[in-house]
Every structure is written in C-alpha cells, then in structure tokens.
Amino acid sequence: MGEPRRTILITGASAGIGAALARVCAARSHDLILTARREGPLKGLAEDLSARHGVVASVITADLAEPGAPVALVEAIAARGLRADGLINNAGFSRTTGFLSTEPDDHAAMIRVMLTAPVELSRLLLPGMVARGWGRVLNVASLAGQMPATGGDTLYGPIKSFLIKASQGLWLETQGTGVHVTALCPGYTYTEFHDVNGSREQVSSAYPAWMWMDAERVARIGWDAVEANRPRVTPGVMNNVLATLGGMLPDSLALKMVGGHARRLDRL
Ligand SMILES: NC(=O)c1ccc[n+]([C@@H]2O[C@H](COP(=O)([O-])OP(=O)(O)OC[C@H]3O[C@@H](n4cnc5c(N)ncnc54)[C@H](OP(=O)(O)O)[C@@H]3O)[C@@H](O)[C@H]2O)c1
C-alpha cells in the first residue's frame, strides 16, 4: 500500500509563488485546495493540474483581508467534505508609498492577509494535523523579514519577521508530531507582486537579472525544505549572503544599507 493521498491548502494560489507551489505539490501527487480572490485563474490552474497529474484540485475563493475569512474558509472546506493535511500561507502584497501615505484600510489588509490569516489558519488546522501524525505548514515570508527594516513599505518587513519567528516557534512545538513547519524567505522573484505594488519599473532598473529568481525554483526549494523539516530556508546564494549581512551588521550600518535600497527604489 502506498502513501495515503494528502491535500494541501494554498493561499494566494491564483498567481506567482502560490501557483508555482501548487504545480510542485501536484507534481508530487498531492491533492490541492486553491484559494485567492480571483476565481478565473484558480479554476484554470485547478483544471490544468488535474489533467496533468491526476490530482483532485478544488477551488474556494476568499478575501483574506476580511475579518473572519480564515474561519469561513475552513468551514467551507469542511462543508465540501474536504480536509487540509497541509497549509501553505502564501497570499501577500506590499504597499510602497510610505507609512503616512498608505490608507489605514490598506495597513489593516496587509496585517490581516499576511499575519492574522496565517496565525488563524494554523491554529484551526494544526490540531487535525497533529492528531493524524502528518502535516506540513509552509509560511511564505521574505528576505525582507531578515533585514533590519524595510523603508517605504514600513510594515512589510516586520510582518515577514513575525512570520519567520512564529514559524520557528511552531517548528519547535511540533517536533516529533509528524508535522513539519518552515518559513520560506524569497528574495526578488518574478511574479505579479511588483506589478500589484506599482514598482516594476523601479525594481527592474535598480536590480540586475541575476538578482532575480523564478517562482518555480523558489517553490521547489520551499517545498523541499518543508519536506526536510527545515525551520527556515532562503533561496539563492546572494539572498543568503544578504540575510547573513543583515543579521550581523550594527543597526547604524544596516539601516544605511536599507535606506540606500529604499532610495534607489524611490520609496524614501
Ligand atoms: N515576488 C517577490 O519578489 C517576493 C519576494 C519575497 C516574498 N514574497 C512573498 O511571496 C508571497 C507570494 O507573492 P507573489 O510574489 O507570488 O505575488 P503575486 O504574484 O502578486 O501573488 C500574490 C497572491 O496573493 C493573493 N492575495 C493578495 N491579496 C489577497 C487577499 N486579500 N485575499 C486573498 N488572497 C490575496 C493574490 O490573489 P488574488 O489577487 O487573486 O486575491 C495572489 O494569488 C507573498 O506573501 C509575498 O510577500 C514575494
């Protein structure tokens, strides 16, 4: 008898790293529950992956910026007779116009989508994973969370730092349960992210192609890391160098570096 089929819930699966993670999981014969706000791309992806890999891919739309959305999502999963054995908290976005020029509703949405939703979904789904003795939680954080600050997108870095630390705490708590927890910390990755925050032109001219990774590679590295139960993974040699520097430099120097980066991108 082979391994039982597992179902992985992926947030932000309509594009970028989330869609790439869906392709990686499907290629490894996992069934999927795909969620995001846009139904069209989710349905297209689900049909493609079912046809290609023979997996069951279900679509449930949700706006994770809405209070109560994580509970409603888990209820909708149960109402369909489905169960999530794995959770990929990937949905996210940033605002780069500065703290005071960002609407309070946008601040609240960032916190709900990238911080509150991962916490709530983990709290709702982890007990089942622990009880069944198998689970995977992959939190898509960022290299930005390993830096001392983010200039212009002031809340983004701290939210991602939170996700890294929370993942590490959960990793400690779940040792020996069959549940693996990993924070994935990508650097610049080709997705819709910089189109959505309006900084495509600046980031493309400020950073050369060798600093960018494609979403498929980032997704493979992330899923391999959670399979191996590594608490944190940063894809790419240059990103690891930056993460190490970010942790070693004194604040005064590190903030100069971050400030220079933000000015190059017209964020300060
Ligand atoms: N690209 C990079 O350079 C980079 C670097 C480091 C970390 N990351 C992180 O990687 C993750 C994925 O980003 P990406 O680069 O793949 O960006 P992306 O292509 O813009 O994808 C973002 C995903 O998040 C979903 N999303 C956004 N707001 C949502 C909401 N309110 N409710 C539900 N879903 C929502 C989007 O779906 P809908 O619009 O359909 O809702 C989309 O599927 C994010 O957490 C991001 O912070 C990205």
SS (H, E, C) 16-52: HHHHHHHHHHHHCCCEEEEECCCHHHHHHHHHHHHHH
Distances (CA, A) of 37 to 14, 19, 175: 8, 13, 34
Residues 134-160: tens digit of each pLDDT: 999 999 999 999 999 999 999 999 999
Q: Are strands 135-140 and 189-190 parallel, antiparallel or unpaired?
A: unpaired
Alpha-carbon gap, residue 15 to 253, rounded angstroms: 36
pLDDT at residue 230 above 80? yes
Q: Are strands 31-35 and 86-89 parallel, antiparallel or unpaired?
A: unpaired
Which of 61, 90, 218 best tests ligand 1's pocket when mutated (most atoms within 8 Å of CB)? Answer: 90
DSSP H or E run through 11? strand 7-11
182: domain CATH number is 3.40.50.720
Residue with CA closest to ligand 1 atom 1: 189
User: Cβ(116) to ligand 1 under 6 A?
Assistant: no
Alpha-carbon gap, residue 268 to 264, rounded angstroms: 9
Query: Residue 169's pLDDT is what?
Result: 98
How many folded domains does the chain comprise? 1
pLDDT at residue 2 above 80? no
Residues 41-86: tens digit of each pLDDT: 999 999 999 999 999 999 999 999 999 999 999 999 999 999 999 9
User: Cβ(65) to ligand 1 under 6 A?
Assistant: yes
Provide the β-strand partners of residue 112: none
Query: Which residue pairs from 42-48 have beta carbons closer than 8 angstroms and sit at least 24 positions apart in sequence?
Result: 42/13, 42/14, 45/13, 45/14, 45/19
Helices first, then strands: H and E counts in the chain:
11, 9
3 state SS of 155: coil
Tell whether 234 is covered by a domain: yes
Q: Going by C-beta distance under 8 Å and a sequence separation of 6 or more, which residues neighbour residue 74?
A: 84, 121, 124, 125
User: Cβ(152) to ligand 1 under 6 A?
Assistant: no
Tell whether 2 is covered by a domain: no
Query: Residue 1's pLDDT is what?
Result: 58
Res. 3 pLDDT band, cuts 50 70 90? confident
3 state SS of 72: helix
Tell whether 1 is covered by a domain: no
Average model confidence (pLDDT) for the chain?
96
Residues 76-134: tens digit of each pLDDT: 999 999 999 999 999 999 999 999 999 999 999 999 999 999 999 999 999 999 999 99
Tell whether 16 is covered by a domain: yes
Closest ligand 1 atom, CA of 37? 41
Closest ligand 1 atom, CA of 91? 24
User: Cβ(190) to ligand 1 under 6 A?
Assistant: no
- The residue length of the chain stands at 268
Residue with CA closest to ligand 1 atom 2: 189
Domain containing residue 35: 7-264
User: Cβ(150) to ligand 1 under 6 A?
Assistant: no
Which of 9, 10, 17 best tests ligand 1's pocket when mutated (most atoms within 8 Å of CB)? Answer: 17
190 torsion bin: left (phi>0), alpha (psi -120 to 50), beta (else):
beta
Distances (CA, A) of 1 to 5, 31, 32, 59, 219: 11, 18, 22, 29, 29
Alpha-carbon gap, residue 12 to 16, rounded angstroms: 8
